[in-house]
Amino acid sequence: MAKLIPAAERIIRARKLLQQARALPVPTEGLGKNDFSYIADIRDLMRQAKDMVKFIPQTAGVSLEMKEEVKRIYTEVEQAEKEILS
């Protein structure tokens, strides 16, 4: 059975995934930022970050601050995706 990950740990992991996406090197050969593999890797990391915190707001007993943090992560994911891929 899978081990449950506390909400605070999920937020930390989501932020690490965002950092990974930002640190992913742009391919120097081929299409650069338009390389399909690069775009897929970025989008996969962003999807993983969203999935990591997706159910936190629906969880019973989660504080309002934690729910606000999830909203900030969603905003950061959208913003980072635009910055990295444009």
pLDDT tens for each residue of 31-45: 778 888 989 999 999
Spatial contact of 49 and 14, defined as CB atoms under 8 Å apart: yes
pLDDT tens for each residue of 5-20: 888 899 999 999 999 9
Task: Read off the pTM.
Answer: 0.84
Candidates 82, 24, 76; CA nearest to 32 is: 24
